[in-house]
Amino acid sequence: MNIRETSGRQAKKEGHDFEHIVAQKLTEDLNVDFEVEGASNTKIDVRDINSKVRFSVKNPKGKNTQIGLYTQHSFIEAMNIVDSELIDFIQKFFGGDKYMDLKRHRMTRKQIDPYLNEKFTYFLNENTPRLLDLLATHGHNQIGDVNYLIWAMKKNDPNSIVLIDLEEFKQNLLHGEWTQNETTFAFNVNDKKLFHLQMKGSGKSKTGPGYGNGYHSLMFHIHRNFDDKYVKELSVLNGLV
């Protein structure tokens, strides 16, 4: 196991441990039982016992953290992409075995037909509501949905957590815009980056592009640039649980 894989496993363990800490804090503060979901087939990390409030918990080291990781196949399926030109762009920009002769086995913006670059960017912007559902609340082929995001402003500090109402958050992001850079995409709202999309540059693919959860998958990150108006006090949950 290499250093990257070791650190990845450690980060996953830390994240899971922190979910238990958050569940305990919520139980004590709100006098309602909360528990860790713990399943891999849901975006829900922590929920109350009646599942009225369902949290995705983020405990980042810095100002951004991963919010979604999808193989090329699963992203195409989740977004119901049937257009061969869009699929061609995905295979080129996020790479795979077909591009073994290129750096990082992928093509960058300047190596791709400008028409395809523009078409995929247009697709992202035309499908922002579906993308936000995929990234923030529902995921792909997962059980249940999330209605709140918990973000630790200081790593591993349960007293630093803030609460984001995701339905309100998504509605306020509908006027944002996806733009393409040389090797990534960024989603900006009022000149603030909220998400970025990049090729996952580590891990091992199985037999071709888009397989497995490693190299050449579509990796989305969320940034701590959300407006204060999205942030709620934990007390708003009192009437919900």
Write down the pLDDT at residue 161.
Answer: 94
Do 140 and 204 meet the contact criterion of CB atoms below 8 Å apart? no
> In angstroms, how far apart are the furthest CA atoms of the chain?
59
Do 188 and 197 meet the contact criterion of CB atoms below 8 Å apart? no
Read off the pLDDT band of 213 (50, 70, 90): very low
In terms of residue numbers, what domain contains 63?
3-237
Percent of the chain whose pLDDT exceeds 90:
75
Q: Give Cα 154 distance to the centre of its chain.
A: 19
Write down the pLDDT at residue 179.
Answer: 98
Write down the pLDDT at residue 59.
Answer: 96
16 vs 15: which has the higher pLDDT: 16
All residues at 6 or more sequence positions from 195 whose CB lies less than 8 Å from its CB, including other chains: 67, 135, 186, 187, 220, 221, 222, 223
Count of domains for the chain: 1
| Residue type, position 70, single letter | Y
Read off the pLDDT band of 212 (50, 70, 90): very low
Average confidence (pLDDT) over 193-216: 70
| DSSP-derived pairing of the beta strands 54-58 and 148-152 | parallel
The tens digit of pLDDT for each residue in 81-122 reads: 999 999 999 999 999 999 999 999 999 999 999 999 999 999
**DSSP structure string for 79-94:** TT---HHHHHHHHHHH
Measure Cα distances from 45 to 60, 168, 198 in Å: 15, 20, 24
The tens digit of pLDDT for each residue in 40-55 reads: 889 999 999 999 999 9
Q: Is the pTM value of this prediction over 0.85?
A: yes
Write down the pLDDT at residue 210.
Answer: 42
Would the pLDDT of 204 be above 60?
no
Q: Is 71 exposed, middle or buried (0-12, 13-18, 19+ CB in 10 A)?
A: buried
How many angstroms separate the CA atoms of 85 and 2, rounded? 37
Read off the pLDDT band of 220 (50, 70, 90): very high
Q: How many CB atoms lie within 10 A of CB 68?
A: 21
